[in-house]
Amino acid sequence: MAHSVVAVIPARYQSSRLPGKPLADIAGRTMIQHVYERTASARVDRVCVATDDERIMAVVKGFGGEAVMTSPDHVSGTDRVAEAVRGLGADLVVNVQGDEPLLNPEMIDAALQPLREDSQIPMGTLAHPLTNPAEAINSDVVKVVCDRKGFALYFSRAPIPLTREADSPQPEGMLRHIGLYVYRADFLQVFSKLPPTPLETRERLEQLRALEHGYRIRVVETSHEVIGVDTPDDLKRVRGLFEQS
């Protein structure tokens, strides 16, 4: 059965560490254009930027992309995506981070596949094997542990699973969560209205809300890594990688 798939890229102008980052220039194009074009190369039917800023809207339309204005009051990208897709008639919705200009389109396809095959799966995401010991103890790096069928048991900023015999947390067997999400469209509207939960609040991880309310999240392991742009140093690094390619 074919599914209608809409990929949405939430993009805010305001950022505490890098204001205006969707419009940052990388190799002659804005970051949002790089993300948009890579997303459009995946097996999706439609790509849309969801923003609350006229400058971002103008830039996206300027390179021929689709953008919609959403409320400036959303507290998360998920809420922004949920508003953007209401009434579009999509079956599946992909939430693509707008600050990952090196995103590989194959990652989107991989995350979508389980939901294409099994209509009972409400939500999916990605993970990558963690190899750097420093990342094992870095609270900015989110880890995930899964059951034998690939569904998330828990997400945490703490080193999970912990090897008790080791002097320090070891990355072997750890999975680093990648913040790309796929939702069944009707579930996305339900999820966006669920009340925050204790573990979500404590870990500051919105996906825990789904688990705490009893919904399953399918995790697909990928060999591809992503580099998010959150700081001026991140932007400098990504610009350097584009120059080398």
List, for residues 103-153, the tens digit of each pLDDT value: 999 999 999 999 999 999 999 999 999 999 999 999 999 999 999 999 999
Tokens read off for 155? 């997400």
pLDDT in tens, 141-192: 999 999 999 999 999 999 999 887 767 777 888 999 999 999 999 999 999 9
Contact call for residues 198 and 62 (beta carbons, < 8 A): no
Place of tokens 């998920």: 78
For residues 122 and 91, give the distance between their C-alpha atoms in angstroms, rounded to a whole number: 11
pTM of the model: 0.94
Position 104 scores a pLDDT of 96
Position 165 scores a pLDDT of 73
Position 2 scores a pLDDT of 58
Checking if the pLDDT of 196 tops 90, the result is yes
Position 109 scores a pLDDT of 98
Counting beta carbons within 10 angstroms of the beta carbon of residue 221, is it exposed (0 to 12), middle (13 to 18) or buried (19 or more)?
Answer: middle
pLDDT in tens, 12-29: 998 778 889 999 999 999
pLDDT in tens, 78-114: 999 999 999 888 999 999 999 999 999 999 999 999 9
For residues 198 and 85, give the distance between their C-alpha atoms in angstroms, rounded to a whole number: 28
SS3 state of residue 126: strand
Position 14 scores a pLDDT of 83
- The CA distances from residue 125 to 180, 231, 237, in Å, are 6, 24, 25
Give all strands (DSSP E) within 82-174, no chain letters. 92-95, 123-129, 143-146, 152-156
Average pLDDT taken over every residue of the chain: 93
The long-range contacts involving 207-210, CB below 8 angstroms and separated by at least 24 positions, are 207/125, 207/152, 207/155, 207/177, 207/181, 208/154, 208/155, 210/122, 210/123
